[in-house]
Chains A and B, each alone.
Chain A
């Protein structure tokens, strides 16, 4: 396919802005074209258990979208490409794109989410006698599933080789979709960009990759080849401080190098799984909550799962609600071993009042009472600029988050009052720390706290407790920086259980915002006891897990 002749523009002072967004179909098409099937981009279920909460747009797809916005360059050829993937792009968001031209042979494209820089790509060109052709490409890939390489598999010198060529039909679709003809990049160069995506997402490191930086240099020989490319890539360094992998790779036409790449990608670690043994280590099993019944909204993962385990370890019967994570829910129940029957799984959307009514009936039919309601569920929390163009997402988050608290509270407060039970609602230390990137979360949690204060006034027979944990080690914080200083969910869960079992609850609502832990001195305590201040140790004395 030949590139159409278009007007060239060589004014170095030119700046252009545009808006682009990505659809699920764009991701599927790019995946088919590039052979990058990394599940972070194409599986909602997989992405949900990552810090991103939803499928992330392929970084190279962002680069191609940027390339398509460049002015036509019929007499130039792309020489190199340098990309910083600053923040993950997601589907359905309108990104602002700014093109600047610092010199006649260089274009810099920046993608913004309002004012937040998401991606920066620098394209360097050189004059060329003939227009960059969109040549015929040849499919070839020896990898169909993303490798699951952990840090121990990624020692310097680790090498991968294979054959590569994009899917021809989908390749053309991508070129057409993003208007890549005539931009100074040949089809083989576009294929080399896809190869970089494939190499990081499927090979080094593979499934755990979060692409961070790329420098891709093109050689003239790249365009002379006829047939699938060969590639070779090698691990240069794994920076343990940030789990950052540096690899170099070569894409060859036969034995002749056609493109070289330097790639940096974070290696994501396993999802932190709440552990009953860590709970038992600081709170030995007992029967102190025997006969009590709890409903944990959002109990299959993170803090909710640890609360479920901690309550059940103390003899409590727990109705564990979960929305979609069936496998995780079953794993948490199974972790109780012989006491697994203390946990009843109840799948459903707790924001749905009909579900709440059914859950209430199911709970009362089985146990005849409810002593503890723990409203823990939340939609994924991601940085959100506070700007007019993102208010729809802001309001959507607010509505969804609130419904996950209002639904259960409205449905269960009356039942809790019958038992003098507990209404426990998850807030966050963010309501006082006010981090810049989470205005929607701060607003939601502040609103939720307001509702609990209202409920404390009008449901005085219920104990009301607001939990304000600090940053917790969960799927959402499971990044190299996110893990630093994060509190283990088991520690927060044990603090909650200890608080419930302490004697004095005259204030209502109470706010639990210090999570100081100790080892239980008497492993067979049956009754609720109030530990004295001397028993408590600062949380920092407990090791904070960082891996």
Chain B
């Protein structure tokens, strides 16, 4: 499974939406239910799935999904 598909799987679990399809230009406002509680679930979900650890709240500083993918591709082998 490539990085995009793995990330999409995490998002589907966290946001309880099997139909959710990620696009690089998507932001938090494009995804229903992305509140502060979901944000923590998402961070932990990504950390667990990719075996990484965010520093502080750096996820919040990323502007869109594309940037998150770029961040992850630099951290984990694709």
Chain A residues with CB under 8 Å of chain B are: 84, 86-87, 110, 115-117, 120, 241-242, 383, 435-437, 479-482, 484
- Are B16 and A117 neighbours in the complex by a CB distance under 8 Å? yes
Look across to chain B and name the residue whose beta carbon is closest to the beta carbon of A117: B16
- Are A87 and B60 neighbours in the complex by a CB distance under 8 Å? no
- Are B35 and A242 neighbours in the complex by a CB distance under 8 Å? no
- Are A481 and B16 neighbours in the complex by a CB distance under 8 Å? no
Q: How far is the CA of A437 from the CA of B32 in the complex (A)?
A: 10
Interface size class of B (residues with CB under 8 A): 10 to 19
In the bound complex, residues from chain A placing their C-beta under 8 Å from that of B57 are 241, 481, 484
Q: How far is the CA of A397 from the CA of B35 in the complex (A)?
A: 21
Which one of B1-9, B19-27, B37-45, B69-77 contacts A? B37-45
- Are B36 and A116 neighbours in the complex by a CB distance under 8 Å? no
- Are B33 and A481 neighbours in the complex by a CB distance under 8 Å? no
Expressed in whole angstroms, the minimum distance between the Cβ of B33 and any Cβ of chain A is: 7
Chain B residues with CB under 8 Å of chain A are: 16, 32-33, 35-37, 39-41, 43, 54, 56-57, 60
In the bound complex, residues from chain B placing their C-beta under 8 Å from that of A117 are 16, 33
- Are B35 and A437 neighbours in the complex by a CB distance under 8 Å? yes
Q: How far is the CA of A239 from the CA of B16 in the complex (A)?
A: 25
- Are B40 and A436 neighbours in the complex by a CB distance under 8 Å? no
- Are A110 and B16 neighbours in the complex by a CB distance under 8 Å? yes
- Are A481 and B56 neighbours in the complex by a CB distance under 8 Å? no
Contact of B56 among A84, A86, A241 (CB under 8 A): A241
- Are B16 and A242 neighbours in the complex by a CB distance under 8 Å? no
Q: How far is the CA of A535 from the CA of B60 in the complex (A)?
A: 32
Expressed in whole angstroms, the minimum distance between the Cβ of B37 and any Cβ of chain A is: 6
Q: How far is the CA of A77 from the CA of B54 in the complex (A)?
A: 39
Look across to chain A and name the residue whose beta carbon is closest to the beta carbon of B57: A484
- Are B36 and A482 neighbours in the complex by a CB distance under 8 Å? yes
Q: How far is the CA of A87 from the CA of B41 in the complex (A)?
A: 11
Q: Which one of B37, B43, B60 has the greatest number of beta carbons of chain A within 10 Å?
A: B37
In the bound complex, residues from chain A placing their C-beta under 8 Å from that of B56 are 241
Report if A481-B39 is in contact (Cβ < 8 Å); known contacts: A110-B16, A241-B56, A241-B57.
yes
Q: How far is the CA of A84 from the CA of B60 in the complex (A)?
A: 22
Look across to chain A and name the residue whose beta carbon is closest to the beta carbon of B38: A86
- Are A86 and B41 neighbours in the complex by a CB distance under 8 Å? yes
In the bound complex, residues from chain B placing their C-beta under 8 Å from that of A482 are 36
Having A481-B36, A484-B60, one finds 17 other A-B pairs with CB under 8 Å, namely: A84-B41, A86-B41, A87-B37, A115-B33, A116-B33, A117-B33, A241-B57, A242-B43, A383-B35, A436-B32, A436-B33, A436-B35, A437-B35, A479-B36, A480-B40, A481-B37, A481-B39
- Are B32 and A481 neighbours in the complex by a CB distance under 8 Å? no
In the bound complex, residues from chain A placing their C-beta under 8 Å from that of B35 are 383, 435-437
Q: How far is the CA of A120 from the CA of B45 in the complex (A)?
A: 15
Q: How far is the CA of A110 from the CA of B43 in the complex (A)?
A: 21
Expressed in whole angstroms, the minimum distance between the Cβ of A481 and any Cβ of chain B is: 4
In the bound complex, residues from chain A placing their C-beta under 8 Å from that of B16 are 110, 117, 120
Expressed in whole angstroms, the minimum distance between the Cβ of A473 and any Cβ of chain B is: 14
In the bound complex, residues from chain A placing their C-beta under 8 Å from that of B32 are 436
Expressed in whole angstroms, the minimum distance between the Cβ of A122 and any Cβ of chain B is: 12
In the bound complex, residues from chain B placing their C-beta under 8 Å from that of A383 are 35
In the bound complex, residues from chain B placing their C-beta under 8 Å from that of A481 are 36-37, 39-40, 57
Q: How far is the CA of A242 from the CA of B40 in the complex (A)?
A: 8
In the bound complex, residues from chain B placing their C-beta under 8 Å from that of A86 are 37, 41
Q: How far is the CA of A241 from the CA of B39 in the complex (A)?
A: 13
In the bound complex, residues from chain B placing their C-beta under 8 Å from that of A115 are 33
Q: How far is the CA of A344 from the CA of B77 in the complex (A)?
A: 65
Q: How far is the CA of A110 from the CA of B18 in the complex (A)?
A: 14
In the bound complex, residues from chain B placing their C-beta under 8 Å from that of A436 are 32-33, 35
Q: How far is the CA of A422 from the CA of B63 in the complex (A)?
A: 41
**26 A-B residue pairings within 8 Å (CB atoms):** A84-B41, A86-B37, A86-B41, A87-B37, A110-B16, A115-B33, A116-B33, A117-B33, A241-B54, A241-B56, A241-B57, A242-B40, A242-B43, A383-B35, A435-B35, A436-B32, A436-B33, A437-B35, A479-B36, A481-B36, A481-B37, A481-B39, A481-B40, A481-B57, A482-B36, A484-B60
Expressed in whole angstroms, the minimum distance between the Cβ of A283 and any Cβ of chain B is: 30
- What 6 A-B pairs are tightest by C-beta distance, nearest first? A481-B36, A117-B16, A437-B35, A87-B37, A481-B39, A242-B40
Q: How far is the CA of A116 from the CA of B56 in the complex (A)?
A: 27
Q: Which one of A87, A120, A241, A480 has the greatest number of beta carbons of chain B within 10 Å?
A: A241
Q: How far is the CA of A242 from the CA of B35 in the complex (A)?
A: 15
Q: How far is the CA of A10 from the CA of B36 in the complex (A)?
A: 38
In the bound complex, residues from chain B placing their C-beta under 8 Å from that of A484 are 57, 60
In the bound complex, residues from chain A placing their C-beta under 8 Å from that of B60 are 484
Expressed in whole angstroms, the minimum distance between the Cβ of B17 and any Cβ of chain A is: 10
In the bound complex, residues from chain B placing their C-beta under 8 Å from that of A435 are 35
Look across to chain B and name the residue whose beta carbon is closest to the beta carbon of A481: B36
Q: How far is the CA of A482 from the CA of B41 in the complex (A)?
A: 14
Look across to chain B and name the residue whose beta carbon is closest to the beta carbon of A84: B41
Expressed in whole angstroms, the minimum distance between the Cβ of A51 and any Cβ of chain B is: 10
Expressed in whole angstroms, the minimum distance between the Cβ of B2 and any Cβ of chain A is: 25
Q: How far is the CA of A481 from the CA of B57 in the complex (A)?
A: 9
Q: Which one of B32, B36, B41, B54 has the greatest number of beta carbons of chain A within 10 Å?
A: B36
Expressed in whole angstroms, the minimum distance between the Cβ of B34 and any Cβ of chain A is: 8
Q: How far is the CA of A87 from the CA of B32 in the complex (A)?
A: 15
Q: How far is the CA of A435 from the CA of B16 in the complex (A)?
A: 20
Q: How far is the CA of A87 from the CA of B15 in the complex (A)?
A: 13
